[in-house]
Amino acid sequence: MPSITVFMVPDGYTANDFDADAVMKGLRDHAFKGIDNDPTAEVSRGWVHYQDMVSFDFQEETGVFHGHYATFGIREDARLVSSRAFKRHFNEALKDWKEKKIKQLGVQGELPDTGAGDKPINPNPRPGKDVKKELKEQVFLKLRAKTLPEPISADVVWNGGTGIIYLFSTSKKVIGAFMSQFQATFGVMPLALDLDTIAKTKGFEKTDEKLGWDFLTWVWQNQQDPHKLEGISGKRDEIFVSMIKRVKLEKGEGDAKEGLVASAAFDLASMDGEIDQALVNGRKVVQGTVAFDDSGDKWTMGLKADGLSVLSGFKTPKVDPDEEDPHGVLMESLGLVETGVNYLVSLVGVFLKEKEAEGTLTRNADTTIRTALAAFVESCRNLGGATITGPDGESVTIAGGDAPVAAAAGG
């Protein structure tokens, strides 16, 4: 399973407002258009079909809707001029300009009473800012016209019931292209489903920018007592949360920043207290891989403290291929993706409640924010299902039933 970036759609596109006809119209009106035959075009961006970047005809709904999911893709083609090629051709253009300028100015022998022969009047003319700017534009346009567009693309899955969107990429270019295109198409900017967004849906005031550090460190430290992160009861067996592979810790900022890479397995005895001492010295986990184990079924995702919405190396339990039922395979795969994201979001909810109990986070009693994530939590509870329990005994319900969702814990 590829890496994923998770978004949510703000108010106006929640379960009650999701309109399949409007989605199809948006995809048609903002579908991708090729620029291979237009040498003057620099960039083209638009929607394509799911897992098919060369198909962008949305006249029919076939292949777009699967149950409560809308599936499509984002593609951006850009003519990228190499900086080395540009430098070479610009220097050549500059040389040609100088040679023409020298000829234009003439030689000193052409001046009266100089007797200077054929020496140039100005052997090294210097172009002004306007001349350089014009030369650069000419070179860029010339090279761009000879350059084939380079594409970037990624699949998109939009859960119309929850307003959660899964972009199957963590590339900054792809993320930027998707967000810009989504806003241009549907009139709203998707929100990254990071720790701050989850906290706001629960009514907390603006969180500290270092809260992501605290969350990953909290998960890592609690491995000393697995029962503190035990977490699932009800219709599911217990789910254990751990950190695997290695973790990256940091202390300080800027030039004073100090880093340390350590084993994710929290074994103080074998490490002679090195990590314990690192935590005492104020180091925090800034990057690591979190694993959720549900009776042998495992989900893993790489997380960074400054962006929990970006899930690198996201893996779910394996889905067996079935050529006779591709729709069923897709639905099962997407359900597993949402289950993994549910576990992460719910674990964040447990962490936030613990921080609130400590007094380090406070709720905004006057908050009016009601996003798709917060509004959907009641329906998650009504569906029944699993409950994740944190160190303080607080519990969060994860939806059960046949319709997987990605919803945060309600406050």
Show me where the domains of the chain are located. Answer: 4-78+149-192, 83-146, 195-399
Amino acid 16: pLDDT: 54
Amino acid letter, residue 328: G
| pLDDT category of residue 17 using cuts at 50, 70 and 90 | low
Most confident of 35-44, 268-277, 279-288: 35-44
Mean pLDDT, rounded, for 222-230: 51
Range name among 198-212, 294-308, 334-348 with the lowest pLDDT average: 198-212
Q: Mean of the per-residue pLDDT values for the chain?
A: 77
Q: How many Å apart are CA 154 and CA 72, to the nearest integer?
A: 9
* Helices 129-146, 83-105: inter-axial angle, 10-degree rounding: 130
| pLDDT category of residue 278 using cuts at 50, 70 and 90 | low
Tell me which residue has tokens 């006057």: 366
Q: How many Å apart are CA 309 and CA 292, to the nearest integer?
A: 17
| pLDDT category of residue 207 using cuts at 50, 70 and 90 | low
Amino acid 224: pLDDT: 53
Cβ-contact 326, 389 below 8 angstroms: no
User: Above pLDDT 70, what percent of the chain?
Assistant: 73
Instruction: Provide DSSP, 345-363.
Output: HHHHHHHHHHHHHHTS--B
Cβ-contact 347, 328 below 8 angstroms: no
Instruction: Provide DSSP, 92-142.
Output: HHHHHHHHHHHHHH-BGGGSTT---TT-BS-SS----HHHHHHHHHHHHHH
Give pLDDT tens digits for 66-84: 988 999 999 999 988 888 8
Q: How many Å apart are CA 163 and CA 154, to the nearest integer?
A: 19
How many C-beta atoms surround the C-beta of residue 165 within 10 A?
23
| pLDDT category of residue 375 using cuts at 50, 70 and 90 | very low
Mean pLDDT, rounded, for 366-391: 41
Amino acid 103: pLDDT: 80
Closest CA to 200 of 343, 371, 342: 371
How many C-beta atoms surround the C-beta of residue 259 within 10 A?
12
**Beta carbons within 8 Å of 111's beta carbon, 6+ residues apart:** 121
pLDDT of 333 strictly over 90: yes
How many C-beta atoms surround the C-beta of residue 143 within 10 A?
18
| pLDDT category of residue 106 using cuts at 50, 70 and 90 | low
The DSSP secondary-structure symbol of 264 reads S
Amino acid 62: pLDDT: 79
Amino acid 76: pLDDT: 97
**Pair of tokens at residue 219:** 């998960």
| pLDDT category of residue 211 using cuts at 50, 70 and 90 | confident
Range name among 10-14, 121-125, 128-132 with the lowest pLDDT average: 10-14
**Pair of tokens at residue 91:** 């220097």
Q: How many Å apart are CA 79 and CA 41, to the nearest integer?
A: 8
pLDDT of 390 strictly over 80: no
Mean pLDDT, rounded, for 18-45: 90
Helix (H) or strand (E) holding 310: strand 310-315
Q: How many Å apart are CA 82 and CA 128, to the nearest integer?
A: 25
Pairing label, strands 69-78, 43-48: antiparallel
Most confident of 5-9, 119-123, 177-181: 177-181
